[in-house]
Structure 1
């Protein structure tokens, strides 16, 4: 059996949802799928705005946005459902969810406070609506599809908006409630992103939670494979918005994929990798707009990886914009043990996460997210030494297995960057990543030069053209 996760863009419109149904139907002919859906594209953001407007007592705006949510899903039903009786019944289900949403809006408006618990409830409606319509459409198309409320299975802690599953309990629930349906040959349609506490309060797993849900369900079943359906042809050599001719990577290791996701690649959520690694389940990243494309398979299976060695060359280039550099300098660092620990105690105490670090005997440079509130952090650091801030920078990470031990690769990286001012360099613990920091205005030039260096020749053809990821 396979777990198939469809992101918001893959089901965001009626034609897209119909295309996703066809993909599921084709998979049903090969294996019995468990289908995990996100909310339709744009709906979660709209629900967040509704929640915020309700909390600000902007009742009229919130209700107008709720009407837009209703209209979007009515349009899906009208396009996908032909049977009048089924269409009427499904529209009533949609209206019932929107009525619940409206009640929540009015309740928050009256109280004048948006709690974390209420916020998660607002956000849950997107997945509940998309899966309800999808399952009904599958049934009308003649498939034995079953709608499953994931909140009955995905039991989490009460850390609202970033809840974590109680894994042993969830695994038991999956084997009792989900696996028997799949073994009976039924297509199970359920939600990503949401869960519930033991006492039934709706929670969310945070952004990217649908990928996480799919991977967890795949591990708990366990499934033969996890398919992540998105709107690009797999994991790319670079962000196609920066490099229009970026290429799809045919196969990569779990380590490479995890590194890329932490370094800014948008295809996979970092937590997606862990459950798959645990069970060594291959993860396929596929394009719902072009389902015939082979996409990317992420695996540690030596048979699949056989013949795909690339001599330590780069697999992908990840970019993370919106960063700033904090340069700290103090002569007290020289030869003094424990001083670095004190610096990082300040970061821990103020809740600021470090992205990249480079050190010398008397100075340390770090990158952090530019949107983070830094006043308290900087005030504390200035008590210990001199501090300088460099805003509007970006980290560029060159990723590939065993990169650190491959001769000549570093030389090629820096040769390609000869016309770009590099503000920081970091290479150390990770064997598969060389990190650079450049000024924001230089990102496009830097990435284009690196991509041309490593992906324009014939030497990398095996990475992308060897048919090693046939499913």
Structure 2
């Protein structure tokens, strides 16, 4: 059994959905069943969240316009791809009912003037609910038995709205109970991505981009042979092709390498996707919906040695926060206090750097979180700042992290030197440096304006545009 996940661009239009249906119909056989996991049509989730936010702010919501924008794209695709009139009407009726339910929720937000995390998750799940019914209907029309399945019947979570985590044993039971009977009957389940439900049945989302994670959860819960993430690129690339036109597809990477790449800006896969399949040794493939003949990238449990460095990644939109002062060494538990305060404010830290003199401690956060980080640290160290044991807490804005990733760096001398020499030759100043103890990556914070020069230069320095021998 295989799990195949299709993202928003893969289900974003009639032509794209036709390709998805072709892939699923060819893959699903009685002796090789498939479970599909689908995202919302591209742009639909943003539409729902924007409408809900406007309603909460008391701005006039033109319900008919939202209904039109939400429903019409699905109805156009259904009209284009479902030939049987009765089946087409059934699908249209189902999607219209979902649209009306969603709009009633948005209207209640407008009446109350309040948009809670719980309601946000519920509203944002409707794009996936609609796309699953659309694709299941098209599959049936094209001769493949299929049934839409809402993931709140399958994925049981801890109830954290906006970023839930699965309760794995409960999910194993729920997934087996809901999906295995369908597979045994030769039916292809089309499961909604992005969300699940807590133990009380309340809808919770897994975070934006969480459909990849959904596929990993379901595949792991049912001990799938493999998980295939169908997207709009030919796999994991050696760099962002928008920055490096000569970037190429990497044939295979380890789970650890893929996790590093995803965390440090490779948007082709959600960072949380690797954990459960890695624990169970289930390979993940990244393949292109629009070029299905391309083999893509295999992410697997074993390290793959083909070069010292696999990829150069970058995360823009960051700031460096520095806690500085000659008396830093005398401030009790300063590191613990810094990160306890920052974590308590819900700020994610991407990278940490500390001088051996311990006169300063720097860490990198999203620019949108920088003001919060500074505020909580100034509050935490208010007395130390007044007594001059700390000099200041300050922000270096408009930075980016550039990461050099590869398992081959472990134990290989000279990699860091080549990184710094390359950036130095380009006249690029390094704001902060960090290397993980796993030696899978070397990360540098640089000015965001330098990323367009830094990434291609490092890509050339490590010969990543060359096909491996």
Q: Which of 334, 341, 362 is the aligned partner of 2:336?
A: 341
SS in 2 for 1:76: helix
1:183 shift after superposition: 3.1
1:345 shift after superposition: 3.4
Partner residue of 1:392?
Answer: 398
Partner residue of 2:317?
Answer: 322
Q: Which of 365, 369, 373 is the aligned partner of 1:368?
A: 365
Contact kept, 8 Å, 1:59 with 1:105, in 2: the verdict is no
Partner residue of 1:18?
Answer: 18
Please, what TM-score do these two structures have when normalized by structure 2?
0.92
SS in 2 for 1:9: coil
Contact kept, 8 Å, 1:63 with 1:102, in 2: the verdict is no
Q: Write out the 4+ residue segments of structure 1 that deviate beyond 6 Å after TM superposition.
A: none
Contact kept, 8 Å, 2:367 with 2:397, in 1: the verdict is yes
CA shift digits 1:293-314 (9 cap, x unpaired)? 111000024xxx6xx5224x11
Which ranges of structure 1 fall in alignment gaps of 5 or more residues? 463-471
Q: Which of 406, 416, 422 is the aligned partner of 2:422?
A: 416
Structure 1 stretch displaced more, 289-298 or 407-416: 407-416
Partner residue of 1:300?
Answer: 301
Structure 1 stretch displaced more, 439-448 or 101-110: 101-110
1:424 shift after superposition: 1.5
Contact kept, 8 Å, 1:333 with 1:340, in 2: the verdict is no
SS in 1 for 2:174: helix
SS in 1 for 2:140: helix
1:336 shift after superposition: 6.9
Contact kept, 8 Å, 2:306 with 2:468, in 1: the verdict is no
SS in 2 for 1:246: coil
- Corresponding residue pairs, total: 455
Structure 1 stretch displaced more, 251-260 or 182-191: 182-191
Partner residue of 2:378?
Answer: 379
Please, what TM-score do these two structures have when normalized by structure 1?
0.92
1:237 shift after superposition: 0.7
Contact kept, 8 Å, 1:101 with 1:122, in 2: the verdict is yes
Q: 1:425 to 1:186 in 2, by over 3 A?
A: same
SS in 2 for 1:226: strand
Q: 1:457 to 1:92 in 2, by over 3 A?
A: closer
Q: Distance in 2 between matches of 1:423 and 1:179?
A: 53
**Over the residues paired in the alignment, what is the CA RMSD in angstroms?**
1.9
CA shift digits 1:13-62 (9 cap, x unpaired)? 01000101111112125821000001011111111111112212334345
1:441 aligns with 2:437: no
Q: 1:99 to 1:339 in 2, by over 3 A?
A: closer
Partner residue of 1:467?
Answer: none
Partner residue of 1:237?
Answer: 238
1:428 shift after superposition: 4.1
Partner residue of 2:112?
Answer: 111
1:112 shift after superposition: 1.8
Q: Which of 344, 348, 356 is the aligned partner of 1:353?
A: 348
Contact kept, 8 Å, 1:63 with 1:105, in 2: the verdict is no
Q: Distance in 2 between matches of 1:283 and 1:223?
A: 10
Which ranges of structure 2 fall in alignment gaps of 5 or more residues? none
Q: Which of 432, 437, 444 is the aligned partner of 2:440?
A: 432
CA shift digits 1:37-90 (9 cap, x unpaired)? 010111111111111122123343454223201111111111111112222222
Q: Distance in 2 between matches of 1:335 and 1:309?
A: 45
